[in-house]
Amino acid sequence: MELKRVVVTGLGALTPIGNTKDEYWNALLEGKSGAAPITYFDTEHFKTKFACELKDFNVTDFINRKDARKMDRFTQYAMVASDEAIADSKLDLETVNKLRVGVIWGAGIGGLETFQNEMINYCEGNGAPRFNPFFIPKMIADIAPGNISIKNGFMGPNYTTVSACASSANAMIDALNYIRLGHCDVIVTGGSEAAVTISGMGGFNAMHALSTNNEDPQGASKPFDANRDGFVLGEGAGAIVLESYEHAKARGAKIYAELIGGGLSSDAYHMTAPHPEGIGVMAVMRNCLENAGLKPEDVDHINTHGTSTPLGDVAELKAISEVFGDHAKNININSTKSMTGHLLGAAGAIESISAILAIQNGIVPATINHKTADENIDPSLNLTLNKPQKRDIRVAMSNTFGFGGHNACVVFRKLD
C-alpha cells in the first residue's frame, strides 16, 4: 500500500512567551524567558515560587463566559490554539467533508485544577457532597478534542493521547498514521496543559523536579548548563493542522512543511528518571529515522526534550551522539524550554511548531541562559547557545520524553 504524504497547513500557539504563533516565534528569536513569580495562588509556603504562566490572556476574549465556566483551563487553551490553527489553515468549514476530519489531542494530566478545586470545596464543606455538575466533563483529559470537534462539527477520529510529556507528540504520530493510511483527509492535532496550580506545583516540588532558583526566575531554565537544577513548569497549548498532500494541494493550501515520520519507544527503566545511557532515547530516534526513510546525516536540527534537569539533559545528548555519530556535531541542537518552560503534555506541540517555523524561516532559536559548560557534555556539539543561528534547514526533529519512560520523536522536512 502506498502511504499518503502528510503536510502541515495550519499552526496555533498559546504560550508563556506569546499568545499567537507569530508572537511565540518572535519571542523565541528574541530569546525571551516566560518565567516570572506565580500570580495564580499564594506561594509563600512553596519551595518554588515561579513558573511560566500565560501573559495578558483573558479567556473571555475568545470564549463566552458561560461556555468558559464549563471548561478547565487546559480545554480553554486547546480551544484558543486550535481556533488559530484552523483559521491559519484557511480550511473551508462549509465545504470540507467533516466525516474525514479528526481531532487527536495530547494532554498529560487534563483538568488538574478542576479536580483540585472540587476536592478543596468538598473538604471545606465538612464532607457535604456538593459538586459542580460539570466536574467530571471539565476534568477528563479527552474533553479538549471533544469540544474542538463539537464546535467545528468534525466527525472523524476523536480522542486524547496520554503519555505524560510525550502526549502531544504521540497525538501527532497517530494523526500522521491516520492520514497516511487514507482514513482521514485532515486532522487537528497538538496538545494543551494547565498544571500551574497548587497541586501541580506542590506535587512536582515534592519530587524535587523543579528548579528552586527563586532569586532569578528568568534564568532558572538553563538546559545543558552545569548549574541547572530542575525544570520550570509552563502552561499553554499548541495546535497543528495536518492534511494529506493531495487534499492540501487540491484546495490551494499554504504548506509549512511535511511531516515525514514519527518514532515511539519506552525506557522500561524508572518511573521518572531517564535511562542513564539513553537507550530508550536512542531507540526512539532510530525508529523515527527509519519510519521517515532518513539517514542520520539527513538531519539538520533537533529541538531536544532538554528540560534543564541534571540527568535528563546528559542522557539525551549522549543518545544523540551515539545515533548520529560524527554528524552530531553538524546538527543545530537546541532547547526552547529554556524560554517557555516545560509545558508537559503540550511540549511536543509547541516545540514541533518551533521546528516547523525554523524550517520555513531558515533560523534556529537559541538555548538561552547558558553560562557554564558541563564537563559531562561533549563540547563539539552545537547547542545553539544564547543566540539564534541562521541555517538552511531541510530536516528538523523534535524529541519528547515522559514520566513512565515514554519516548516520542517526530521529524519534519521542507516540502520539495
Among residues 409, 141, 108, which one has the least CA distance to residue 266?
409
Name the 3-class secondary structure at 113.
helix
Q: In degrees, to the nearest 5, what angle opens at C-alpha 50 toward C-alphas 142 and 171?
A: 25
Kindly report the length of the chain. Answer: 416
CA distance 401 to 190: 15
DSSP 3: P
Are 342 and 234 found together in one domain?
Answer: no
Whether residue 361 is contained in a domain is answered as yes
- Indicate if 123 belongs to the active site: no
pTM above 0.85, yes or no: yes
Q: Is residue 91 part of a domain?
A: yes
Residues 188 and 333 grouped into a single domain: no
- Coil/strand/helix, residue 312: helix
The string of pLDDT tens digits covering residues 323-351 is 999 999 999 999 999 999 999 999 999 99
CB–CB of 375/316 below 8 Å? no
Last residue of a domain, one of 201, 220, 250: 250
Residues 138 and 17 in one domain: yes
Query: With the CA atoms of 317, 267, 206 and 194 taken in that order, what torsion angle do they form, in degrees rounded to the nearest 10?
Result: 80
HEC states along 271-284?
A: CCCCCCCCHHHHHH
pLDDT tens column, 144-160: 999 999 999 999 999 99
Set 305, 370, 406, 409: catalytic member? 305
Structural domain boundaries enclosing 168: 7-250
2 domain residue, yes or no: no
Is there a contact between 186 and 90 (Cβ–Cβ < 8 Å)?
Answer: no
pLDDT, residue 276, reads 81
pLDDT band at residue 128, thresholds of 50, 70 and 90? confident
Q: How many domains does the chain have?
A: 2
pLDDT at position 275: 82
Ranges 118-132, 139-153, 277-291, 353-367: which has the least confidence = 118-132
Residues 238 and 272 in one domain: no
How high does pLDDT run on average in the chain?
Answer: 97
What is the helix, strand, coil percentage profile of the chain, to 5?
A: 40, 20, 40
- In this prediction, residue 278 has a pLDDT band, given cuts at 50, 70 and 90, of confident
- Residue 241 shares a structural domain with residue 267: no
Residue in 52, 165, 184, 409 annotated catalytic: 165
Rounded-to-integer distance, Cα 294 and Cα 100, Å: 29
Q: Which residue among 250, 282, 298 closes a domain?
A: 250
Task: Write b or e for each residue in 352-386: b if 16 or more Cβ atoms lie within 10 A of its Cβ, otherwise e.
Answer: bbbbbbbbbeebbbbbbbbeeebeebeeebbbbbe
In a shared domain, residues 325 and 361: yes
- The reply to whether 187 and 281 lie within a common domain is no
- Are residue 316 and residue 236 in the same domain, yes or no? no
* Residue 328 and residue 218 share a domain: no
pLDDT at position 127: 77
Q: Which of 343, 112, 312, 308 is nearest to 212 (CA)?
A: 308
353 and 217 in a common domain: no
Last residue within a domain, chosen from 187, 222, 250? 250
Whether 1 is covered by a domain: the verdict is: no
User: What pLDDT, on a 0 to 100 scale, did the predictor assign at position 248?
Assistant: 98
Same domain, 90 and 215: yes
Q: Are residues 211 and 274 in the same domain?
A: no
Q: Are 21 and 11 in contact (CB under 8 A)?
A: yes
301 is catalytic: no
Say which CATH number the domain at 271 has: 3.40.47.10
Show Cβ contacts of residue 371 under 8 Å, excluding neighbours closer than 6 positions.
222, 225, 227
- Would you say residue 369 lies in a domain? yes
Active-site pick, 247, 275, 342, 370: 342
